[in-house]
Amino acid sequence: MSKLRTFFALDSADKFASLEAMVLVLYAKLLIGKVLPRRWRSRFGAVARSSEKSGDLETVRRVRLAIMRALNNVPGAPNCLPQALAGRWMLERRGIASSLFLGTQRDETGKARFHAWLKVGDEWVTGLCDEAQYTLLVPGEPEAA
């Protein structure tokens, strides 16, 4: 019952963002798990033009918190790529350009480990990590629509 109480205590914008994040994280997880990558890779999509509004940082933080809330309330513990895709789609809907990074590193045994993270400028949205430890697979430049 405390999750419901917490949800209802949120303002309407946070409620909507939380529900949106849950749906998009689940959609991204399903897309990645069930569809061949060549079919969904294009859904990274071009990002909307960067907004000049002063509330952008607040919006980015709201999206980040909504994704964090969603992770506590969706089944299957989605990993970094569904989180980054959901965040990218949410920011795109709000007219904020973002950079999605895909990187790899080797663990102690030499096995490749992959990671995805999303940033708006210097602000982290998902996948906080030490970027210097990863070799980029996909350039993370923001794209304009």
Write the pLDDT tens digit of every residue in 39-96.
666 655 544 344 444 348 999 999 999 999 998 888 887 899 999 999 999 999 999 9
> Does residue 4 carry a pLDDT above 80?
no
pLDDT of residue 5: 76
Q: What is the reported pTM?
A: 0.79
Phi first, then psi, for residue 77 (nearest 5°) are: 40, 75
pLDDT of residue 49: 42
Average pLDDT over residues 113-124: 90
pLDDT of residue 1: 59
Q: Which residue has the higher pLDDT, 20 or 3?
A: 20
How far is it, in rounded angstroms, from Cα 44 to Cα 14?
24
How far is it, in rounded angstroms, from Cα 35 to Cα 27?
11
Query: Cβ atoms within 10 A of the Cβ of 49, count?
Result: 13
